[in-house]
Structure 1
Amino acid sequence: MKRILIYLAAMLFPIIVSGQESTPEKKYDHQMRFGIGGYPVTEWFMYSVSWCDCGPMPPSLNRIYWDSESPLYSTGPISAEFSWLFKDWFTFSLTAAVNVTWENSYDSINGRRTGVEVGALAYVVPQCRFNWLRRDLVKMYSSIGVGFLAGQDMYDEFLILPVGQVSPVGIEVGRKVFGFCELGIGMLYTGAKAGIGFRF
């Protein structure tokens, strides 16, 4: 009986060991991500960075007949990001994004819409991403980036400004195709950014 048990154990041992061996993760060199982010700090500039040194405006009755304005609306930065996976812990990416902002004007007497002011900004932001948690299905990272934006604000003024973005925590879930979400603050987005991507 002992010999039978020993033989069975010897036969099962390789099967158990092989079942515990993890399949090595396939290595990818690049990835592409598409996402949308929260209201960026740059929208403060959509009201124009210019100013008028004309002193306080005197009271005037005709101001009660000025057009009223709606809240400021924004698409949020819609982005495409190409990345080079240099190391398990380091990724370099180039982000291109566009954000459109608009505001409606209404007649103060009858409430009819009289027009719309539209502005659009395009961003180019290189970023360094540091992957501090690396698992088969889950990666967590932090990133920092510096770039520039160019576009036209709602008052037809052309802007070129530097852009800085810090994302202290982000997560990617998946292998070849994955979803991601990150939290950050800066002139690219503020709050959260989420989307999908694929590695190749």
Structure 2
Amino acid sequence: MVLALLAAPAPLLAQAMVPGGEAVPEGPVTEPVEQSRPNHDEELAILLDRLSDPDAPAPERIEQRVIELWSDSGSDTANLLLRRGQDALNAEDYEAAIEHFSALIDHEPGFAEAWNARATTFFMMDLPGLSVPDIEQALTLNPQHFGALAGLGIILEQTGEAKGALAAFRAAQALNPHRDQVNEAVDRLATEVDGPDI
């Protein structure tokens, strides 16, 4: 889980967990010539290292570029399914979003953003029991997905698992210390779990 905004309206949470997509023309998904999955590892390593610095300049731009790279599967078909699912999610057409993201997972099961996007949709449908396994799969494929970690923290806190929520938020914070809502969650839960500072 996108993207994470604690106590934020549902559409904002969705934006935090899944990057927004541009409008995609309606019609059947065509089968373009597939390309191999792009290797963004070197650029991502540099960007994530910069993002983890609390004093990083322009962290929003760094985060946006990270999300762009995570959202590029290297497959035109998969990228189209992701954009269509995002459009449906933004339109609150959750059933259509699930269809697109499930098709995307079938097409590219190793694409972490597909699992993250479907997890977000399940969360928006108030189905955390379906959301969590998809978050776990996204994190298995991309352990540095700070949006998925923050989304997991939100669900765990909502279900009363403060200790697990704090661990998830701290992991997200270590990767991206520039989200105020995550920082506030860490402060709030640390007092509850660890006790007040003396």
**By percentage of residues, which structure has more helix?**
2
Same fold (TM over 0.5): no
TM-score (norm 2): 0.22
TM-score (norm 1): 0.22
* Rg larger for: 1
**By percentage of residues, which structure has more strand?**
1
